Structure 1
């Protein structure tokens, strides 16, 4: 929408809600619009909104609060989220309340200049997001339970706690990774910093070619469940590839790894007599849900605390079936599970291991099989698979993974013994009653696995960018939770400020970083979760860190210096987490210098060279050796 039109809206609305004009200068869009509209001769308030459709909309004169409630989120591209929450809280009982909502929408934090004039358009909303803005519906007397009122109250609680989820309309560009655009406005590009497409396989030419060929020959859908017309050569092939990747007898593919974890734990926990499942306190919701569905007894041990795990194992009778469920890379904090020690305890106390490698497959190991393969780097990189026995990966009973992150597609899987896989196949309703993944998806995912088994090039480059970003953030006084993995959790400590920081990064700096709030992380430990990819360059890193510095200053967020100066009496959870990750935990990168096999100047960050993966063309070798046959260090302790 033209700036003059925005100013016109503010000017006419201020006739009934005067205070807004005095404070509208806090918003970069409103302040520019007001200046231009002061000399405007226009007397109407017809609003023409930009976009592909070029649609127009007329507003009443003077503008009413009810009109603003319906359309105000399209006025300012930054404020739609806050307006929704403010409307919901205030109920828009009067025009004065409407003015207050717009003031809250703009906020003092939006006062920084617009960088390079790149203003993202207003965000579209999911259908559900509008529910939070409505006042509580009147109860229908004599009609029984007030369903709509119940829905409203539940959503109101989410809004009041700043945990209501808004979905940004992010459209990643296949030919311009890591770039994307918002809604339909392709002219306003953004840099995507939080995608789980860790290796950019979703745009790899071999993957795309395989998918196109498959869809041309076999169509879009699988045609049914595995039992009814949905079993085909594509699903058989990818299950063979996955079993080979993890050196297991069999594998089973699901629509998602959420379904895979839920199904496997549900079946095992319900079928094994008197089963006890020991679960890491930071496990993913899919594992928690599977344990609940199983009805089995559960024991939760402190995150990565092997003494606590052993204490609980010791309390269970030897003959009782036990499952230890844990993850290799924990996605919100980036910590790494002590796989080797967990296996030792499982063998000692008669338990089986259930390892979620969702955020590790394609990212670690000489063939991308995950952290379990990575820990035996030299053996797995140099020995033929048929001759390998007794490695860490071999000693795991069940491995689960995803096709939707490093492999750039969609779906999940389990891998284990043939009898285990058959048990899940035969009893899991999540598998039995779900339509098979489309043939093109299976073909593309299998190709991505094969690409990442053949070379470590993109894995190496991704790790370089991760090191570079972590180093730059700490140098810039921006606090992060240090860890050995590719996850970069930037610590904020407030749900409201984490959301606002994300909005400012997007609206003023064209950087998309998603905030992570409760219940994904604990209250007071809210954060921004950043995941570099091979396509991010040193220049991208520099621009992001600069943007974060400006946002940190605008919002008065706590810095490294602030957290180090905080009391050490247990009263400050965020400071305790930061200090513990910096000074107590072993955060040495899983990818060692020897594994990266790069010149020293790149490892130390002293080189300005930028290695940008050109996936549009045929894959080209990078200026460092392939590590498939390189000698790595001996086994690395987890």
Structure 2
């Protein structure tokens, strides 16, 4: 220390006049020596220069941007899905047209029975539809050639839209690439174009409707599922003169529940609203001509007088949406309503204007299928009878089916891991394909298997399904109806206050026949 000070005193006048004890005393005081150094013309300048460099370096270290790690972000998001067991696995399923409802896996020799398809009536394998599509493909080629306003507006599209308008007793219809697009485009266009619009949406509405409402940026109110009183409370909170849309589905595909359509229509009239009804999981299946639940509600009337103005509830729905991709066997979506409404959406909806038109073969197949199912009850009858049989057999074993009046058979597991185990076990050990359904498609705790019996499922296939499910439930100790009863119930299973359900197709309606068409269908199948 002494030698260091000796050298420093030679260069610094301040150090030269202060002894070692005084310097130590200054150093012990808070910032005392540093204060003196800053007063020095030499040291002060040096400290200031060094401080600037240090500050700049610190600032550079703090503000230097770190590159965004894209792959890490993807992994983090996927890890969330894996951790909460909601990650979606897509099985390699190749449906066999000549063996419906059979399909093969990645290896063609590995065949399974499909029990969860939305081709509810097996029309995707119907010879009438397939032959029509083959002929159209040979004549018009594969693609449509562009959007509807450029090169994709063929006579086939217009014929299909005419058939759909007739099916729903409306003035017009408009075909989209899918019903996801149809719902999104229609609700977003209406909600954004109608001034000060308010949309009332059922809590279990499909993602396509939710997206359309979100994209519209309109004010929205969500009412509890099928809750008429809650909907009315929400309607009362809004000025009656504001434009309003009540958006709901007829059949909810994950639980099989059916909307109280009459009551919703009454509220729409009372509060100056229009109705937006998604019949996606009902068209082709319900009603004497396959128009859906709304047609089915006045079955005899619509069977005798299938046209607008017959006094049925069909006349009271403002907007219908449906799909060609389920019971009608192909792909595509549509809306139906008044001619001015259809023209307005055609003119303003980006989802329609800027999307390439459906290919001619698809449109021709869809048209043929709609025409056919207007006149055939064979497929609907077999499907409903098979759905009744499956529900009854599972009830005998206490396997927990969410009760409903529709063709959907939802089997409750209650957690994602169990649903995956059940699905994998059925596929790998029993040759049965039933996909597990997890959040966000259903709420957490409501995970399930969703079974959809079709007219193609034989009694032997039903026996195998029921026995396989019973084996899986025994092996893994999955909850049965009695277990849910002991807990107080869940999803209307085992609940003392659960409503009672009867099939929407009555015995009398199932015996409704169309002899000429059924005979024609049998001849076609024989070919």
TM-score (norm 1): 0.70
Q: For the structure 1 residues 583 and 451, does the alpha-carbon distance in structure 2 shift closer, same or farther, using more than 3 Å as the test?
A: farther
Taking structure 1 as reference, are residues 336 and 616 closer, same or farther at Cα in structure 2, changes over 3 Å only?
Answer: same
What are the within-5 Å matches in structure 2 for residues 133-532 of structure 1?
144-183=67-106, 185-385=107-307, 388-532=309-453
Tell me the CA shift for residue 384 of structure 1.
4.9
Per the TM alignment, residue 617 of structure 1 is displaced from its structure 2 partner at its CA by 5.9
Measured after TM superposition, the shift of residue 583 of structure 1 is 5.3
Q: Deviations over 1:316-354 (max 9, x none)?
A: 111011100000000000000010110011001100000
Q: Distance in 1 between matches of 2:490 and 2:162?
A: 47
Change (3 A) 1:365 1:332: same
CA distance in structure 1 between the partners assigned to 2:347 and 2:294 by the alignment: 28
Match of 1:71 in 2: none
Cα contact 1:205–1:615 (8 A) shared by 2? no
**Alignment partner, residue 618 of structure 1:** 524
The answer as to whether partners of 1:259 and 1:412 remain within 8 angstroms in 2 is yes
Deviations 1:377-408 (A, max 9, x none): 0100112526x433111110000000000001
Match of 1:564 among 465, 474, 485: 485
**Equivalent residue of 2:157, what SS?**
helix
| Larger proportion of helix | 2
Pairwise mapping of residues 110-149 of structure 1 onto structure 2 (< 5 A)? 144-149=67-72
> Does 2:493 align with 1:578?
yes
Q: Distance in 2 between matches of 1:614 and 1:174?
A: 20
- Give, in angstroms, the shift of residue 556 of structure 1: 1.3
Unmatched 5+ stretches in structure 1: 1-140, 569-573, 600-612, 621-638
CA distance in 2, matches of 1:481, 1:614: 37
Match of 1:596 among 476, 492, 510: 510
TM-score in terms of structure 2 length: 0.85
Deviations 1:45-100 (A, max 9, x none): xxxxxxxxxxxxxxxxxxxxxxxxxxxxxxxxxxxxxxxxxxxxxxxxxxxxxxxx
Q: Are the counterparts in 2 of residues 210 and 443 from structure 1 also a CA contact under 8 Å?
A: yes
Provide the C-alpha distance between the structure 2 equivalents of 1:330 and 1:440, rounded to a whole number of angstroms.
30
Tell me if the contact between 2:402 and 2:491 (Cα under 8 Å) persists in the aligned partners: no
Q: Which residue of 2 aligns with 1:23?
A: none
Q: CA deviation at 1:564?
A: 1.5
Contact 2:113–2:432 at 8 Å: present in 1 too?
yes
SS at 2:248 equivalent: strand
Q: What RMSD in Å do the two structures reach over aligned CA positions?
A: 1.9
Rounded Cα–Cα distance in structure 2 between residues aligned with 1:465 and 1:169 = 26
User: Within 1, Cα distance between the matches of 2:491 and 2:133?
Assistant: 47
Shift of 1:584: 2.6
User: Is 1:542 equivalent to 2:456 in the alignment?
Assistant: no
Quick check: 2:245–2:275 contact (8 Å CA) kept in 1? yes
Structure 2 partner of 1:127: none
CA contact (8 A) 1:205 1:616 kept: no
Q: CA deviation at 1:188?
A: 2.1
SS at match of 2:246: strand
Whole-Å separation in 1 of the counterparts to 2:77 and 2:499? 39
Runs of 4+ in 1 over 4 A off after TM superposition: 613-617
Q: Distance in 2 between matches of 1:370 and 1:500?
A: 35
Provide the rounded CA distance (Å) in 1 between the counterparts of 2:179 and 2:422.
30
Q: Distance in 2 between matches of 1:416 and 1:203?
A: 30
Equivalent residue, structure 2, for 1:47: none
Aligned mates of 1:238, 1:586 — CA distance in 2: 39
Deviations 1:228-275 (A, max 9, x none): 111101111100110010011110100000000000000000011111
Deviation of the 1:562 alpha carbon: 1.1
> 1:41 maps to what in 2?
none
In 1, the alpha carbon distance for the partners of 2:185 and 2:422 equals 37
Mapped partners of 2:429, 2:410: distance in 1:
21
Distance 1:579 1:423 in 2: 48
Task: Report the Cα distance in structure 2 between the residues aligned to 1:282 and 1:360, rounded to whole angstroms.
Answer: 16
Other structure's SS at 1:264 match: helix
TM-superposed deviation, 1:143 = 5.9
Q: Is the 8 A contact 1:162 1:496 kept in 2?
A: yes
Give the conservation status (yes or no) of the 8 Å contact 1:175–1:616.
no
SS in 1 for 2:214: helix
Contact residue 362 and residue 368 of structure 1 kept, 8 A: yes
SS of aligned partner of 2:284: coil
Q: Is contact 1:282–1:330 with CA below 8 Å preserved after alignment?
A: yes
Residues matched between the structures, number: 459
Secondary structure (helix, strand or coil) at the match of 1:618 reads helix
| Structure with more relative contact order (C-alpha pairs < 8 Å, separation 6 or more) | 2
Matches of 2:367 and 2:478, distance apart in 1: 44
Are the equivalent residues in 2 in contact too, given 1:204–1:616 (CA < 8 A)? no
Answer whether contact 2:377 2:512 (CA < 8 A) is retained: no
